[in-house]
Every structure is written in C-alpha cells, then in structure tokens.
A and B are shown apart, each in its own frame.
Chain A
Amino acid sequence: MGIVTPEIGLIFWMTLAFGILLFILTKFAWKPILASLHEREKTIEDSLHQADKAREEMKSLQAHNEELLKQAKEERDVILHNARTIRDNIIEESRTKANQEYNRIIEAAKESIHFEKMAAITELKNQIATLSIDIAEKILKEELANKDIQKKHIDQMMDNINFN
C-alpha cells in the first residue's frame, strides 16, 4: 500500500521545514509571547496581592484607629472622673473651710460680745458705784438739811436710776 509507505523526499522536506519552523517560532514567537504572558500574569498577581495587602493594612489601621479612639475615650473618662473628684474635693474643702471660718468668726464675735458685755457691765458697775456714791453724798447732804426732803430726794433719785 502506497499510503503507509513513508517517502524519503517528504521526510527530508518535513524535517527541514519543521526544524526551521521550530527554530523560528521558538526564537521570534514563543519566547516573546510566553515572556509577555508571564509578565502580564505576574503583574496581575502582584496587583491582586498588593490590593490584598492594602486591604489588610486598612483593616489593621482601622483597628488601630478604633483602639486609639477607645483609649482616648477611656482617658477622657478618667480625666472627667478626676475632674469631678477634684471639684467635689474642692467644694468639700471650701465648705469645710467656710464652716471653720464661720465658726471661728462666730466664736470671735461671741467672745467679743462677751468681752464688750463684760466691759459694759464693769463700766456700769463702776458708774453705779460712782452714782451710788454721788447719791449717797447728796442724800447725806439732804439728810443733813431736811429729813422729809432728804427722803423725797432719795426716792426721786432712785426712780431716775435706770437699770438696763
């Protein structure tokens, strides 16, 4: 059968043509094509990778931000709490101090009043003594002149003395 017998001529031309085709395509077609395919795939992969990384970073950044926010809130709470405590303390302290001052002033006033009173009483006593001496002197003088008039004088004088 003719169709199953390979012809030497065709084998020769086929080897030559296919060899040349293989060489030319390898050099001028497959190398650049495969290189650019590889490059494109690599670029796509890298881009995806970077996008993933960026997303990851964003996420961590967000978490960080949240953390910061939380810390800030906590700090604010602490500060507020402290402020409140301090305010309370100050109020308390001032109140105590005011009370003390008040008490001190009252005390001082009382003392002063007492002192003044004592002084007044002392002066009154002195005046009474003086008046009493004066009255006694006048009475004695009247007594010496007229008994009734002396008596009248004494009563009159006694009425005029105001004890208060």
Chain B
Amino acid sequence: MFKYICLIVSKLRILNMQLSNKIKTINKNFWSFSILFLLFFATFQTTNATEENHEKQKFNAGEMIIEHIGDGYEWHIATIGETHLSIPLPVILFQDGKFVSFCSSNFHHGHESYQGFKIAHEGKYKGKIVHLLTNEKGEEIETRPIDLSITKLVLSLFMGVFLIAWLFISISRSYQKRGMAAPKGMQSMLEPIILFVRDDIAKSSLGEKNYKKYLPFLLTIFFFIFINNLLGLIPFFPGGANLTGNIAVTLTLAIFTFVITTLSGNRNYWTHIVNAPGVPWWLKIPVPLMPIVELVGVFTKPFVLMVRLFANITAGHIIALGFISLIFIFGEMQPALGYGVSIVSVVFYVFMGLLELLVAFIQAYVFTLLSALYFGMAIEEHHHAEEHH
C-alpha cells in the first residue's frame, strides 16, 4: 500500500512540473559523450524557474498524458519547489552525411535551438528534434534528421536490458553452483515462470521434438516484455517509461517473431501459402485469391502482435494517468473538489495498478504464446499425408 502512495505522490510531482512552464534554465553540466553512461546515474540537471515568467497555464490532461506515454529527450524525475530534477540525455543525429552529438540540456527544455536543431512544438514533428532550414523565400522549413538519440525510452530500454541480463545471469550462476539442489531465493521465484514458458508455451505449441530450438527466444521475449511492463508500472525513475507501450518497440519484437517464423518455415508452410490444399482450384487460378489471402495473413500475424501489446500497455498508462488528471481538472475548478476527487482517483488508480499487474503478465504470455504458435505453424509437418494416399 505504501508503495502505491509513493507512486501517486511522485506522479503528482511530475504533474506539478508540467504545470509550470516558460522556465529559464541554467545548465550546469558539461559532459562528453564517451563518459555519458557513467554520468547518467550520477548527474542531475537542476533548473531554476524564474518568477517573472511563471504564469500558470490551464491544465491540459490530453497533452500531459500524450507526453507521458511518449518519448522525450530528457527524463523528468520530480519538481521540488521551483527546482526541476531531470536527467539530460545525449542527442545523436545523422544530418548531411555526418553525426552530430550533443547534450539535450542545450535545448533548455525545448525552449531554445542549438546548432540549427530544435524540438518542434507543433506540426508533423511535434516533440521531435528537427533541423531548421531557410529556403529562398525566407521561410523556415523543418526537416527531420535521422534521430538515434538516447531518449528516455532508449535509456529505459538499456536499463531494462541490463536488469534482465543481470537477473538471469546471476540465477544461472546459482544453478551452476547449487547443482541438483532445490532452488533458492531469486532462483525459486523465477524457476516456476521459466518452467511455465517451457512447458505450457514452448512444449505445448512446438512439440517435444522442436521446442528446444525456439525456447531461448521465447524466454527472452517473455521476460523482456514482462519485466519492462512491470518497470512501466513504477511511476518514477527508473521506471515509468512506457517502453512496451511504444509502437517502435512492439514493432521490433514483432519483426523478430516474423523473421524467425519466415526463416523456419518448411515446405509444408510455404505450400499452404502458395497452394493451400483442400481449396477449390478456381480460388487459385486465374486470380490467385487464396495465395493473396494467405500472404496477407503472414503479415497480419506479427502486425496483430505489435498492435495488441502496444494498445494494451498504452491503454493502461492512459487510464492510470486519466484518473490522476481528474484530480487536477476538478482541482482547477475548486480546490476542495480536487481533494474530494483525489480519494476516488487514488482508489481507482490502485485498482488499475493491480489490474495492470495482471495485464503485464497476460500480455507477455500472449505475445510469447502467439509467437510460439506461429513458429509451430511454420515447422508443422504434413499430418494428413496418409489420408490423401
């Protein structure tokens, strides 16, 4: 329960930070790109808000939510009084054939441009770094460079990957050390899940014979999604990033599944796509209707994986943030109303949090299970051979 209160308090701090804008910043940190990763965890950028420009803007729930579930060039942690705590992140851009790299604090929270780059405030590239060019007519044109910046989500991804790698390498050590003995500690917590993935996902979809080949991938995606979902539920640093609810991340995961499915497809799999057995010939010749449908199916499978994970996790974040936003919407009308609504909001938030814990597991399970089923379809042998001959 205490944990949840903490989460809510820190959410409120972040929201408070959102409300104050037009901040002049004093950048105190310089860093070099090579030692960036060391500095990540040690350096906080402090910014002081000046009073004269501090004008309260109306709270916009939609904008706040979209900003929270999206990516960012710096990682806000909290605002204590007038001081904003945020981690500046490195910007890496590929523009005109060369790499440009600098600290995102140079943008001063998006209010200034740097080396001809700025964070767009509106338009197609809203919230992204754009390159400013002036054409012959004197108009400013915004172009998007290839952006390989270590954004909030990339940092969150790295931290998640490090956590997972550390967790499983350490338990693999204890397996090697303890040998035949019963599991202990972290090992005993993760072993049932590993066995669940092995027996109920891999073995049941791929069969006793083939499951071993795909098991490492299935375990990796399962724990990647599950642990990152859980990290996303923690509302403050180092969690809180909507990593598994980002379409680029789910797209990449789906592409991994798609590539493995396609590469492991056997003769039977391709025959089913090109010349599906048991289908009347006029659906194949002269108009190859069935092959087209089957081919579309090949691509819809990973597409559905991508959309399902993205939508579920993002929706969870939006709902949780929505409940918190209610407090501020009502609070702006009447402070007392805000306090009243906060009780209801917190109760609903806690309920959603518990539901999201379940969703975190279910989505990881579904993604892994469906991947396993697709692999199973790709390697399935022709079972009806005897009936035809």
CA distance A10 to B146 in the complex (A): 11
* Smallest CB gap from B164: residue in A: A21
Q: Which of B174-219 contact A (CB under 8 A)?
A: 175-176, 179-180, 191, 194-195, 198, 212, 215-217, 219
B91: shortest Cβ distance to chain A, in Å?
10
Which residue of B172, B251, B252, B256 contacts A33 across the interface (Cβ within 8 Å)?
A: B172
CA distance A40 to B92 in the complex (A): 48
Give a binary string over B136-173; 1 marks a CB under 8 Å from any A CB, 0 the rest: 00000000001111110110011001001100110110
CA distance A26 to B214 in the complex (A): 10
CA distance A123 to B212 in the complex (A): 130
Q: Which of A10-41 contact B (CB under 8 A)?
A: 10-15, 17-18, 20-22, 24-26, 28-34, 36-37, 39-40
Knowing A2-B127, A21-B161 are in contact, say whether A29-B71 is a contact too (CB < 8 A).
no
A130: shortest Cβ distance to chain B, in Å?
127
Contact assessment for B180 and A15 in the assembled complex, using a CB-CB cutoff below 8 Å: no
Within 8 Å CB of A14, what residues of B? 157, 248-249, 252-253
Contact assessment for B172 and A28 in the assembled complex, using a CB-CB cutoff below 8 Å: yes
* Smallest CB gap from B147: residue in A: A9
A21: shortest Cβ distance to chain B, in Å?
5
CA distance A34 to B194 in the complex (A): 9
Contact assessment for B247 and A4 in the assembled complex, using a CB-CB cutoff below 8 Å: yes
Interface centre among A8, A17, A20 (most CB of B within 10 A): A17
State whether the Cβ of A62 lies closer than 8 Å to any Cβ in chain B: no
Contact assessment for B169 and A29 in the assembled complex, using a CB-CB cutoff below 8 Å: yes
Contact assessment for A29 and B168 in the assembled complex, using a CB-CB cutoff below 8 Å: yes
Give a binary string over B341-380; 1 marks a CB under 8 Å from any A CB, 0 the rest: 0000000000000000000000000000000000000000
Interface size on B, as a range, is 35 or more
CA distance A32 to B171 in the complex (A): 10
Contact assessment for B71 and A18 in the assembled complex, using a CB-CB cutoff below 8 Å: no
Within 8 Å CB of B251, what residues of A? 6, 11
Contact assessment for B248 and A6 in the assembled complex, using a CB-CB cutoff below 8 Å: yes
State whether the Cβ of B246 lies closer than 8 Å to any Cβ in chain A: yes
State whether the Cβ of B328 lies closer than 8 Å to any Cβ in chain A: no
Contact assessment for A21 and B220 in the assembled complex, using a CB-CB cutoff below 8 Å: yes
Contact assessment for B216 and A32 in the assembled complex, using a CB-CB cutoff below 8 Å: no
Interface centre among B66, B161, B165 (most CB of A within 10 A): B161
Contact assessment for B215 and A30 in the assembled complex, using a CB-CB cutoff below 8 Å: yes
CA distance A2 to B242 in the complex (A): 14
> What count of chain A residues pass the 8 Å CB interface test?
34
Knowing A7-B71, A9-B147, A10-B154 are in contact, say whether A15-B252 is a contact too (CB < 8 A).
yes
Contact assessment for B169 and A13 in the assembled complex, using a CB-CB cutoff below 8 Å: no
Interface centre among A25, A30, A43 (most CB of B within 10 A): A25
Contact assessment for B248 and A7 in the assembled complex, using a CB-CB cutoff below 8 Å: yes
CA distance A159 to B150 in the complex (A): 175
CA distance A40 to B310 in the complex (A): 38
State whether the Cβ of B69 lies closer than 8 Å to any Cβ in chain A: yes
Contact assessment for A33 and B154 in the assembled complex, using a CB-CB cutoff below 8 Å: no
Knowing A11-B252, A25-B216, A30-B215 are in contact, say whether A39-B165 is a contact too (CB < 8 A).
no
B355: shortest Cβ distance to chain A, in Å?
21
CA distance A14 to B256 in the complex (A): 11
Within 8 Å CB of B150, what residues of A? 13
Which residue of B161, B176, B179 contacts A18 across the interface (Cβ within 8 Å)?
A: B161
B162: shortest Cβ distance to chain A, in Å?
9
State whether the Cβ of A5 lies closer than 8 Å to any Cβ in chain B: yes
Interface centre among A6, A13, A31 (most CB of B within 10 A): A13
Top 7 nearest A-B pairs by Cβ distance? A29-B168, A6-B248, A10-B248, A26-B216, A14-B252, A36-B175, A30-B216
Binding site for B on A (CB under 8 A): 2-15, 17-18, 20-22, 24-26, 28-34, 36-37, 39-40, 43
Binding site for A on B (CB under 8 A): 66, 69-71, 92, 126-128, 146-151, 153-154, 157-158, 161, 164-165, 168-169, 171-172, 175-176, 179-180, 191, 194-195, 198, 212, 215-217, 219-220, 224, 246-249, 251-253, 255-256, 310, 314
Given contacts A10-B248, A24-B165, A25-B216, 14 further A-B contacts (CB under 8 A): A2-B127, A7-B71, A8-B248, A9-B146, A10-B153, A11-B248, A11-B251, A13-B150, A17-B158, A29-B165, A30-B168, A30-B172, A33-B168, A37-B191
